[in-house]
Structure 1
Amino acid sequence: MAREFEIRREVVLPATPEQVFEAVTTGTDGWLFPVADEAGALPGPQAPGVTAWEPPGRFAVRTEGEGGWFNALEYRIEPRGEGSARLRYTHGGVFAEDYDTEYDSCAQHTDFYLHTLGQYLRHFAGRPAVFADVQGPPASAGADGFALLLDELHLDQEVRVGDRLSVDLPEIGVLDAEVDYRTPQFLGLRSHDGLYRFFGRNAFGAPVGVALHLFGEGADRAKAGQAWQSWLDGLYAG
């Protein structure tokens, strides 16, 4: 049975309201995923679904579907001085199936995405980003799917946020990065030119995923995506 949900978060970000507004509207490649439409157009005050465009203080968007379905996001941005801002974020919508699982998944994804927004603003704000999204094969949805990925990265329980790792991955090469986020289902790594996000979605009945936000000169979306896809496929082939 379909039920409405609402998730609210409040975070302090290391950027001006103007920088935050740009990041949550036209700069999402660097921390979330691309929001351009099929024609390549970025959001603006007249874009379909935009219900509030009040730079730099408020942005909201809503989409609707059949049977009362909707998905709505609102970003309220307040200045705090000294180059920082407070973001009040609200995500509302409808879950049609397993409400508890979907809510838990959405809430945890929200925390991870907003953390990544902070990492982007602190380390890469304004830099062009190449985004690639890679999904593991069906086998990665098993109970030990994310644990296998962590083992391959040589991340045992003792590795915490702030620790560094250097690992040579088949198809990819050496990944030298700092752990910037870690929970049982999510892992964030930050290198000098990229944010690497790992999603243990097997906890919610879906395959493991990897999102790449690459800021290095000459970063190639197709090449990076193919390399990480090959690594994931090989990891779960056995």
Structure 2
Amino acid sequence: MDERRRLAKEIELAATPDQVWQAISTPQGMSIWFVPHELTGEQIEADFGGGNTQAGQVLEWEPGKRVVYAAPSPDGEPPMTIEFLVEGRQGGTTVLRLVQSGFFGDDWEAEYDGFGKGWTMFLHNLAEYFRHFPGLPVTGVVATGFTELPGETVWATMIARLGADPALGEQVHLTPEGLEPIDGVVDLRDKSLLGIRTEHGFYRFMADDLHHMVSTTQYFYGVTVDRESRTAAWQSWLNHLVEE
């Protein structure tokens, strides 16, 4: 067995190779579809919400074609790496390949599955960005709550607090208490995942049983949003949800 345990994803995007390269090789580009990223010295720091940040560095760099990032790993272990490969296709589309290597510990299969589902969602974000909001800048909001409650229990509570349990493709009007309503269409749906596309961006709600957390990632394109106040409001909403 390959002890590096490689996870691979591939997606064809309605964008040029240069547009895709910018989306996977710069902090601004990564923020468009993943989580907010910032350059801190020689490292790139990702904000996963709730005070959870992770710093990584560039291991390999082939401009316009390939970049490899190294993420933190247990002491003495090779780093977990995330490789992006960009390949243009005839007709103006681009194939993006992602390879993540290095899963450790007794729960590596669950970790592998969790990362796989996460990357499917984030790559869907990138495809939908190019389809609906190409070229627009983003303001990203991430909030994460941690809990020892079972994932199914937390997810059921979240759905109840949002005010709807919609199906894929359904038009929705969500009413989270104390926050502005969310109007849009369900563009992602799974057992513990709900994604809404609105007029100006995306809302993603997730429960992660492996890491005992529940989170929301939100993307607002081409509009003015107070990231700090919105993050605080959603963090408070999630904290209240997991404390009950």
Q: Which category describes the TM-score, using the shorter chain as reference length? A: 0.7 to 0.9
1:61 is the counterpart of 2:69: yes
Structure 1: how far apart are the matches of 2:119 and 2:160? Answer: 25
- Residue matched to 1:191: 198
Shift of 1:146: 1.1
Shift of 1:179: 0.8
* 2:227 maps to amino acid: R
Structure 2: how far apart are the matches of 1:5 and 1:146? Answer: 29
- Determine if contact 2:72/2:80 at 8 Å carries over to the other structure: yes
Structure 2: how far apart are the matches of 1:6 and 1:40? Answer: 26
What runs of 5+ residues in structure 1 fail to find an aligned partner? none
- Residue matched to 1:128: 137
* 2:173 maps to amino acid: S
Percentage identity across aligned positions?
Answer: 28
- Residue matched to 2:4: 4
Structure 1: how far apart are the matches of 2:236 and 2:119? Answer: 28
**Count of aligned pairs:** 229
The partner residue of 2:118 within 109, 118, 132 is: 109
The partner residue of 1:225 within 208, 231, 244 is: 231
- What SS does the corresponding residue of 1:199 show, helix, strand or coil? strand
Shift of 1:234: 3.1
Residues 1:152 and 1:10: Cα distance change in structure 2 (over 3 Å): same
Structure 1: how far apart are the matches of 2:176 and 2:37? Answer: 30
Shift of 1:237: 4.1
Shift of 1:109: 1.0
Residues 1:29 and 1:151: Cα distance change in structure 2 (over 3 Å): same
Structure 1: how far apart are the matches of 2:195 and 2:134? Answer: 17
Structure 2: how far apart are the matches of 1:96 and 1:130? Answer: 35
Structure 2: how far apart are the matches of 1:40 and 1:131? Answer: 22
Aligned-residue RMSD, C-alpha: 2.4
What runs of 5+ residues in structure 2 fail to find an aligned partner? 46-55
- What SS does the corresponding residue of 2:131 show, helix, strand or coil? helix
Shift of 1:199: 1.5
TM-score by length of 2: 0.83
- Determine if contact 1:63/1:71 at 8 Å carries over to the other structure: yes
Shift of 1:140: 5.5
